[in-house]
Amino acid sequence: MLNINNEPMINEEIKDREVRLIDSDGTQLGIMPTRDAMLKAEEKGLDLVKIVPNARPPVCKLINYDKHRYEQAKREREMRKNQRIVELKEVQLSATIEENDIQTRYKNAVKFLEAGDKLKVSIRFRGRQSAHANIGMQIMLDFAKRLGEYGSIERAPKLEGRFMIMIIAPKAEKKSFAEREQERKEREAQDKQDELNRQNAAKQAAPKKKVKRESENMI
């Protein structure tokens, strides 16, 4: 039986004539009168806590109950802190999307899936594009295939009015936090390097201004 605060009965709250007692280290001390169990608790400076109230006789254990409650509250706080609400993120494709845009959407999708979120992939068909939904279907399936390492199709692509929608769920996490963090840093470094390479290529491709020589200015 629990008390009105939904906590186990302790010490003087225990009214049973006898109990089965467990020591603080897990040693079975056997069945004894409750008053004897109380004396053992007092000798050790511990509390007598009823842990299995429905047993006959009920099972009690010698515990530092204040410390026990503190550690239990701490564990619950840690569990709440580590719990994460799964969000539904979205990336939008198109029936005429080009490869560089797909790469951008792919990188965003990987970040979402690695963070544990589900991914909504959508294509909006404009005008007569809806007559060629098979093209959108192929784009969707190709995109899902690229993400195969990070997620799997939870809801297959389906046409809803002018939109085609697919849901991808993240794969069960097997890598440690340190491994995920290292991979994230490596991807960010690679993205920066790719951007730098594109900027350098653009500079090299830009037409150079012709510099007039001093002799030409004198003519």
The per-residue pLDDT for range 4-23, each reduced to its tens digit, is 456 888 899 999 999 999 99
CA-based radius of gyration for the chain: 34
CA pseudo-torsion sign 175, 178, 184, 185: negative
pLDDT at 211 over 60: no
Q: List the single range of 39-53, 84-98, 151-165, 192-206 with lowest mean pLDDT.
A: 192-206
Q: What confidence tier does 205 reach under pLDDT thresholds 50, 70, 90? A: low
Q: Tell me, what's the pLDDT at 212?
A: 52
Question: How high is the pLDDT of residue 84?
Answer: 64
CB of 48 closer than 8 Å to CB of 38: yes
CB 102 within 8 A of CB 93: yes
* pLDDT single digits (tens) 72-131: 888 888 877 766 677 899 999 998 899 999 999 999 999 999 988 999 999 998 878 777
Tell me what the pLDDT averaged over the chain comes to. Answer: 84
> Can you list the domains of the chain with their CATH numbers?
11-80 (3.10.20.80), 88-170 (3.30.110.10)
Q: Which pLDDT tens digit goes with each residue over 170-201?
A: 987 555 556 667 777 787 888 788 788 777 77
- The pLDDT, as a whole number, for residue 179 is 64
